[in-house]
Amino acid sequence: MVTKPLFAAVFLGLINNILSKSVELTFELPDSAVECFYQDIEKNTSASLEFQVITGGQYDVDVKIEAPNKQIIYTQTKMQYDSHQFVAPVTGVYSACFSNEFSTFSHKLVYMEFNVGPEQPLPGVGVHATVITQLESSTEEIHSSLNSIIDHQTHHRLREAQGRKRAEDLNERVFWWSLGETVAIIIVTLGQVMVLKNFFSDRPTLYNRL
């Protein structure tokens, strides 16, 4: 069993800020293995987990989110993709585990995004007591649109990677099938040549000797 703390993603530059912790990563899940990620969450803090199996086997994994008090927040078996939002019932370290124990030979490539806490507001927006200006309103709309675009781009990249992997697997199967057919045709051809050659051979056969 392999464990990786979510805060290690800081070194990859994946945590946006302190108030809103967002981890987005893609990891390899070996066959018959479990990968667990840990995150410290305060009580009554909202969090969400989104995942998708990109490549490997039947594109499915077992997923479980567990609270510090051993309460199961979320669990699914053999899922290709899903998302789940929850509010932390207690303060402590929560674990998100991905299991591939049911597979004995298929490695999986899994995408995961773990968001904790509300998104930090834009700097300078809403800090004054006056009514929000049109510029600030437009800035918030643009920011929301950009976040939506980023989400769509992420999903498109995942679909592209998944489609490319399936195309590569199909191309490999077609190659080996074609190679097997070629070898079979060559063997049959040589066999037919040998049989026909024996028919027209001058050497005495058992029928001629009789």
Coil/strand/helix, residue 33: coil
The residue range of the domain holding 208 is 131-210
Domain closes at, from 120, 148, 167: 120
pTM value surpassing 0.85: no
What average pLDDT does the structure give for the chain? 78
| 71-96 mean pLDDT | 91
The number of domains in the chain is: 2
Cβ(95)–Cβ(37) under 8 Å? yes
CA distances from 199 to 71, 186, 190, 210 (A): 80, 20, 14, 17
Looking at the structure, tell me whether residues 61 and 148 fall in a common domain: no
Looking at the structure, tell me whether residues 108 and 17 fall in a common domain: yes
Most confident of the ranges 7-11, 125-129, 146-150: 146-150
| 163-168 mean pLDDT | 80
Q: Is the pLDDT of residue 113 over 70?
A: yes
Looking at the structure, tell me whether residues 116 and 200 fall in a common domain: no
Tokens of 155: 């999903």
Looking at the structure, tell me whether residues 20 and 109 fall in a common domain: yes
Coil/strand/helix, residue 74: strand
Looking at the structure, tell me whether residues 78 and 113 fall in a common domain: yes
| 191-201 mean pLDDT | 81
Give residue 89's pLDDT.
92
Looking at the structure, tell me whether residues 35 and 112 fall in a common domain: yes
Q: Is 126 inside a domain boundary?
A: no
Partners of residue 62 on adjacent β-strands: 99
Give the model's confidence band at 142: pLDDT under 50 very low, under 70 low, under 90 confident, else very high: confident
The CATH number linked to 28 is 2.60.120.380
- Residue predicted with more confidence, 30 or 21: 30
Give residue 202's pLDDT.
61
Cβ(13)–Cβ(109) under 8 Å? no
| 52-71 mean pLDDT | 90
Looking at the structure, tell me whether residues 77 and 153 fall in a common domain: no
Domain closes at, from 68, 89, 120: 120
